[in-house]
């Protein structure tokens, strides 16, 4: 660091990064990104969620990743966690299903039950 201006720039960058992780009053989409999830296509699923939210200019949803969810046979897995704490677990996802979840669950408030863990176990 050579100046106060440079220090202020570092501070602003850090504040923006913290804001990205702010989950208060935001719906969260958490994608399982352990090795089993990645091998099953979780990276493409996460990218599809981010791209679809950006395309629709939705800023009230954070997309994050987690490690092992514990049910590898259902990967790729993502959970939609509403601001009230209600959670919907989606399984065996692909990019197209992720886009549909954004359209139906996030935009219209209707979970896509055919992609949930309950439907997959039948």
pLDDT digits (tens, 9 = 90+) for 30-47: 999 999 999 999 999 999
Distance CA 22, CA 18 (A): 6
Query: Which pLDDT belongs to residue 121?
Result: 63
At residue 2, φ and ψ (nearest 5 deg) are -120, -10
68 and 32 Cβ atoms separated by less than 8 Å: yes
Query: Which pLDDT belongs to residue 116?
Result: 94
Residue 25 has pLDDT above 80, yes or no: no
Q: 24 vs 112, which has greater pLDDT?
A: 112
* CATH code 3.40.30.10 for 23-120: yes
Q: How far is CA 17 from the centre of its chain?
A: 16
Query: Which pLDDT belongs to residue 42?
Result: 96
What does DSSP say about strands 27-32 and 61-66: parallel, antiparallel, or unpaired? parallel
pLDDT digits (tens, 9 = 90+) for 64-107: 999 988 899 999 999 999 988 899 999 999 999 999 999 999 99
Q: Which residues are within 8 A (CB) of 73 and not within 5 positions of it... i.e. 6 or more apart?
A: none
pTM: 0.79
Per-domain boundaries in the chain: 23-120
Q: Of 96, 77, 99, which Cα lies nearest the Cα of 87? A: 77
Residue 14 has pLDDT above 70, yes or no: yes
């Amino acid at each position: 660091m050579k100046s106060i201006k440079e220090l202020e720039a570092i501070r602003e960058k850090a504040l923006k990064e913290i804001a990205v992780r702010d989950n208060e009053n935001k719906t969260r989409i958490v994608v399982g990104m352990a090795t089993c999830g990645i091998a099953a296509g979780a990276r493409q699923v996460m990218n599809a969620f981010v791209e679809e939210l950006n395309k629709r200019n939705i800023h009230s949803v954070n997309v994050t990743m987690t490690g092992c969810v514990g049910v590898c046979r259902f990967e790729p897995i993502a959970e939609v966690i509403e601001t009230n704490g209600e959670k919907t677990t989606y399984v065996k996802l692909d990019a197209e299903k992720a886009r549909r979840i954004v359209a139906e669950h996030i935009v219209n408030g209707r979970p896509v039950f055919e992609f949930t863990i309950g439907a997959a176990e039948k």
